[in-house]
Chains A and B, each alone.
Chain A
Amino acid sequence: MSHPQNATVFLKDKARAKWHDDTLWIVREKRDATIHLIPEWEQLRELASQIKDHTLSKLDYYLEELEKNATANGIKVHWAENAEEHNQIIGKILEEKKCKAIVKSKSILTEECHLNPFLEERGIEVVDTDLGERIIQFLKQPPSHIVMPAIHLKKSDISDIFHEKLHTEKGNVDPVYLTHAARQHLREKFLQAKVAITGVNFAIAETGEFVVCTNEGNADMGVHLADTHIACMGIEKLIPRRKDLGVFLRLLARSATGQSITNYNSHFRSPSPGKELHLILVNNGRTKQLAREKFRNSLKCIRCGACMNTCPIYRRSGGFSYGSTVPGPIGSILSPGIDLKKYSTLPFASTLCGSCTDVCPVKINIHEQLYEWRQEITKAQGSSLKGLSMKLANGIFTSPLAYKISGKMMRASLKTLPNSVIYNPLNAWGKGRNLPELPTESFKDWYKKNRNEQ
């Protein structure tokens, strides 16, 4: 299904859609409140952007450095060209360990590689230990947000599924009660697991170590109790120096949720005596994205989710509407690189307002890349441009005029588009809600005001 079709489904429950929109906006506001306490915020974004640009420009060198230093530390380093190879490597380690149950903390990469079904087919029990991820795992759903995987659910949904799976009191929706029920359930799993899998937030070439950030402490509970720790990372997660972490850890949590830092920031350099530590470096299309000059810097992403929280389309269409592992604005520029045909509607799921670019802690020019993808997709459609792009954009953005103008001008042109176009039934996200009154002041100022008036 295309993004507009999925968005229409999401918007059917108007009250829930509004709640989703409001909840994410609150997270965006929390981000704004904390960054105002950091006078050097813009300087930090610029530093982070340059550090990542530099790393990507010498990625081969830094990957080899990482491997060399990590190996010297006692980490077993593996390389995987694609998702299949990544899964096979993990499958083989588990087989060697005769391991039938693992605990896993949040990793978007393992989601991207569809690791869970791969292991489950082989009779291995996979327990996602992040609370939000455990909830959606019970519901057999994918995450709808990269930082808040269960953000689409209400506490009554969670109460129902916990009643079924964990035998909590029927109808008890108290978040403290529900969280503590999950704590007990997951503690048993932690105490039994012999192998723990985690993602990686940052890997440091200079020291051969990697960092995992959580608020719940679930990654650490898993790995320190297990005998074997397997960490999975995309090859773009590298940074050159340990001191670069100072920049990134200041930016990550503030951008994600408005906290000054995540509560647990664990640096893994070598295994505890008698234990094993594996690190899998995964390509899965990243070198292809690196080769696309216009889209290269999408690989700077540190997965903070800020671009989702701020995006008027994401907030009003939900993470599932994107149908991709990473949803939202960044997902809409990463996913077409993986499968242009399947994700061809995503670059159109945007107003090109530029708010994503404004909040991105590593200064990815997200909205410009969305615009570039639109052009690529249009080119790829070739002669049947008109018919196909009608389908793609499902409404207003198909006009040749709209293709030719930049994001800024798009804002101006929206103002002049007749209501019949904006509220066209084909324009799914315009349907659920009025489109913005267009700003004479800056987007941020305007949007705040607009929200307050509701």
Chain B
Amino acid sequence: MSSKASILAAIKGLNMKEKPLPEIPVFDVAPNLVEAYTLALNSNKGTVLTKKELEVLITESSFQKIYSSSPTFNQFTNCELPQHPSDFADLDLAIIEGQFASAENAAIWLDDSNLDLRAIPFITAHLVIVIKKENIVGNMHEAYERIGSTNSGFGVFIAGPSKTADIEQSLVIGAHGAMSLKVVIL
């Protein structure tokens, strides 16, 4: 008997009585979503910026290699999309559009349609995600409602910069992935 057959037979043999699957009710959300989002992002060690603030920051910074897939900040792109993601190992800044975000925990949803390469938000040294104010939802239930049954091969909720507390519980930003996350709310 194959392992699949034996595993399934072992479960079927138990003749378990089916237990009910609950429906998920609607829960209250924060009255001011932008405010709640900003608070949540700050506690995840990310920051909210305006479009202007980001433009100033980039102009004043010494970023060598910048890639923006957001039309709003297209003018900053100074490199080509590589064939292989490892050629982005020296990417200083990536700017990406997010589809929507959840105010309760600052998580932003991105999928293949936002990611020219899946590795970009992880391999870049610094990450900016651009979202629209009207696309901030209250909580994760509303977020999954937005995702619905869309069929992207890959999707991710990003809620902050890469971080770890594995050394004596001291929080360190920039474990493997992006060392900062800035979110521009348009």
Question: Does B52 count as interface, using CB distance less than 8 angstroms?
Answer: no
Known pairs A50-B22, A220-B122; A191 contacts B89 (CB<8 A): yes
Task: Collect the chain B residues with CB atoms within 8 Å of residue A179's CB.
Answer: 164, 166-167, 172, 174-175
Nearest B residue (CB) for A190: B176
Q: How many residues on the B side are at the interface (Cβ–Cβ under 8 A)?
A: 71
Question: Does B130 count as interface, using CB distance less than 8 angstroms?
Answer: no
Question: Does A141 count as interface, using CB distance less than 8 angstroms?
Answer: no
| Nearest CB of A to B143, in Å | 7
Question: Does A250 count as interface, using CB distance less than 8 angstroms?
Answer: yes
Task: Collect the chain A residues with CB atoms within 8 Å of residue B144's CB.
Answer: 242-243, 245-246
Nearest A residue (CB) for B10: A287
Contact count A vs B, C-beta below 8 Å? 238
Question: Does B157 count as interface, using CB distance less than 8 angstroms?
Answer: yes
Determine if B117 and A224 form an interchain contact, defined as CB atoms under 8 angstroms apart.
yes
Determine if B154 and A260 form an interchain contact, defined as CB atoms under 8 angstroms apart.
no
Determine if B175 and A131 form an interchain contact, defined as CB atoms under 8 angstroms apart.
yes
Task: Collect the chain B residues with CB atoms within 8 Å of residue A38's CB.
Answer: 104
Task: Collect the chain B residues with CB atoms within 8 Å of residue A51's CB.
Answer: 21-22
Contact indicator per residue, chain B 147-174, by CB within 8 Å of chain A (1) or not (0): 1010111111111111111111110101
Q: How far is the CA of A18 from the CA of B162 in the complex (A)?
A: 30
| Nearest CB of A to B129, in Å | 12
Contact indicator per residue, chain A 18-49, by CB within 8 Å of chain B (1) or not (0): 00000100110000000000111001000100
Question: Does A235 count as interface, using CB distance less than 8 angstroms?
Answer: yes
Question: Does A80 count as interface, using CB distance less than 8 angstroms?
Answer: yes
Task: Collect the chain A residues with CB atoms within 8 Å of residue B28's CB.
Answer: 39
Chain A contact-residue range equals 35 or more
Q: How far is the CA of A358 from the CA of B175 in the complex (A)?
A: 33
Q: Which one, A74, A257, A264, contacts B158 given CB within 8 A?
A: A264
Contact indicator per residue, chain B 3-27, by CB within 8 Å of chain A (1) or not (0): 1101110111010111111101101
Task: Collect the chain A residues with CB atoms within 8 Å of residue B2's CB.
Answer: 79
Which of A149-157, A393-401, A411-419, A424-432 lies on the face that meets chain B? A149-157
Contact indicator per residue, chain B 110-125, by CB within 8 Å of chain A (1) or not (0): 0000000111011100
Q: Which one, A39, A85, A249, A262, contacts B3 given CB within 8 A?
A: A85
What DSSP secondary structure best describes chain A's contact surface? helix
Question: Does B49 count as interface, using CB distance less than 8 angstroms?
Answer: no
Q: How far is the CA of A23 from the CA of B19 in the complex (A)?
A: 39
7 nearest CB pairs, A to B: A217-B177, A132-B166, A260-B105, A224-B119, A216-B175, A270-B153, A287-B10
Q: A260-B105, A263-B159 are in contact. List 15 more A-B contacts (CB 8 A).
A: A56-B19, A57-B16, A60-B11, A79-B7, A131-B167, A155-B168, A176-B170, A215-B160, A216-B175, A225-B119, A242-B147, A246-B144, A249-B140, A263-B163, A264-B158
What are 16 A-B contacts with C-beta separation under 8 Å?
Answer: A23-B169, A43-B25, A54-B20, A57-B17, A73-B153, A81-B3, A131-B175, A151-B169, A187-B89, A217-B177, A218-B175, A225-B119, A263-B163, A264-B158, A265-B159, A291-B14
* Interface positions of B (Cβ within 8 A of A): 2-4, 6-8, 10-12, 14, 16-22, 24-25, 27-28, 40, 43-44, 85-86, 89, 104-107, 117-119, 121-123, 139-141, 143-145, 147, 149, 151-170, 172, 174-178
* Interface positions of A (Cβ within 8 A of B): 23, 26-27, 38-40, 43, 47, 50-51, 53-54, 56-60, 63-64, 67, 73-74, 79-81, 85, 129-132, 135, 148-151, 153-155, 158, 175-176, 178-180, 182-183, 186-187, 190-191, 207, 215-218, 220-221, 224-225, 235, 240, 242-247, 249-250, 257, 259-272, 281, 283, 287, 290-291
